Amino acid sequence: MPIESTKARGATRNEGSTRFNLKEHVVDGDWLDSVEALDGIPKRQTTVTIERAKSILTRNRSPDINFDRSINAYRGCEHGCIYCFARPTHAFHDLSPGIDFESRLFVKPDAAKLLNGALSRPGYECAPIAMGTNTDPYQPIEERWRVTRSLIELLLETCHPFTITTKSDRVVRDLDLLAEAAKLGIASVAISITSLDPAIARTLEPRAPSAKKRLAAVTALTKAGVPTYVAIAPVVPQITDHELEAIVQAAVAAGARGGFYLPVRLPHEVAPLFRAWLDQHYPDRAAKVMATIRSMRGGRENDPDFHSRMRGQGAWADLLATRFDKAAKRYGLGNMKVPLRRDLFVPPEGDQMRLL
């Protein structure tokens, strides 16, 4: 089969995953003949499949992550960030972590209904819910499906604390809800900014909004009273690391309350996809980039160990930490997050009205 177009996509390949020994699909020969008869290279269209999930809260016990539950309204992400650590999850569906992850998307339209049920259960203990931990809650299909907005509406109604992480200025479209939640002390937002250079961003995260738009979103959220942070995540050595100080400065100028950084991670199928991306877009430094990543990961392409996976190790990791700390002090970027209130939470009423 001809290779499908990778224009405006992050991944340059679309191989399937063999981690789960899933059955290989046999492609119909007549269909192959029709495809090969077409002129040029077939364009990959984005498709959205409705997922009828049975639950919506994902529990987390990782000691190096500051939340124990999260919600992902979508599977896959059209932003196409080549470094995305969530890419391997598409292999669970017998789909490629490559271009399939960017173009074969899943939506959970019943997310708010499922969350209502979870919050209504007897004995439910309130703690902040993180959104945007796996795939972006404000990727382009949120424009139509508005699942993230429906979740925020319920969380605001029940005064339940939540956090949002996104690469999109689309978050500002829910500013009416976020501002109300911020007044109650139950919401915060983190905007991820990887590069200020449009030329780098075009290949690194091809369908995500520009850094300029994201910084404008930081300003709008801050002015509305929403605690907003900037995540320089990930930092890619020899590709974006030279921008670390500039991003810190831009974040402060935009009004960010605080920020943090994370070095690039390459779990499972992300590593070969990233290497292929380097070979295509940065062949002059591909070997050097991978050598630096291995130096920060104990000689491996990925370090899955708790704590060290978030900061790396060795001279390069120490240098990044020193540079970020100095830049934060120089420009006045905070590092303390505002604690979110839990005491205001009131379970959903459901079909039966409250006694009090």
Question: For residues 173, 243, 12 and 74, what is the CA-based torsion angle, rounded to 10 degrees?
Answer: -30
What's the mean pLDDT in 102-121? Answer: 97
Cα–Cα distance for residue pair 265/237, rounded to 1 Å = 11
Torsion-angle region of 355 (φ positive above 0: left; ψ -120 to 50: alpha; else: beta)? alpha
The DSSP call for residue 310 is: H
pLDDT at 15: 67
At residue 42 the predicted structure's pLDDT band, cuts being 50, 70 and 90, is low
Tell me whether the omega of the peptide bond preceding residue 97 falls within 30 degrees of 0, making it cis: no
**DSSP letters along 32-88, please?**
HHHHHHSSSPPPPPPEEEE---S---EE---TTSS-SEEE-SEES-TT--TT-TTGG
pLDDT tops 60 at residue 345:
yes
pLDDT tops 60 at residue 356:
no
Q: What share of the chain in percent tops pLDDT 70?
A: 87
Q: Which residue has the higher pLDDT, 294 or 4?
A: 294
The strand pair at 228-235 and 74-75 is best described as unpaired
**DSSP letters along 266-283, please?**
--TTHHHHHHHHHHHH-T
Q: What are the structural domains, with CATH classification, of the chain? A: 46-331 (3.80.30.30)
